[in-house]
Structure 1
Amino acid sequence: MLGAVFAACWLPLLAPLPAPAVLAAVMLPGALFVPVLTVAGLTVTALAPAGTTTEAVGWMSSAIRLGLAAGTALAGPLGGHFALPLMAAALGALVLSARTHNPAPAPAAA
């Protein structure tokens, strides 16, 4: 849910806005960024198999850094459009919601 709200907060930035309006419009997704990262970290920690939590968080951290690097590399050719972070946030929300709605079955009692 938080990922979907985060993605929706980028929608106003798709419109051509003057610089002061862009500055104001980025405050809401910026304020939601840390809660999204916190929920992602807690989800990865909860879903990681026993004994692999550190590795799972490391993979998440590496994936975030790779995404940031790719977004930075594409920012110039895309001309500063905000469609890329919007699509990435929406994809993250879909993956997280798909995993949350289909949890692994509980082990059978002996």
Structure 2
Amino acid sequence: MRYITQEQIDDCDPTVMIAIPRLAIVCGLLFCPEGALNVDADPETLSEMFRAFHSLLVKIRDLLRVLDEHELRCVEKALCTGDTQLKFENFKGLNSYKQLLFQRSISHH
């Protein structure tokens, strides 16, 4: 993966200070679902810092779950670099998720 280099850490690069919390949130939502960012549990069990964002964290987790490994790596890299020019229409998993949401919305009407 190597999103952050040893040189960036040694130089106290500000990018590292932004990237690590972002990656930690992704890791907590996807790879440690029973941990501190367990959005399936009662929102009151979340850290006070995240409690107000419970519903947003659920949406983010659901979107991250539909990405394939390559797409997830692209998102993680963008979170480290601040790249805002990702072409999300190229993400197959995200497009499938959007289609599913659309199908659900029309079936409820």
**Common fold: TM-score over 0.5:** no
TM-score of the pair, normalised by structure 1: 0.26
1 or 2, which has the higher helix percentage?
1
Larger radius of gyration: 1
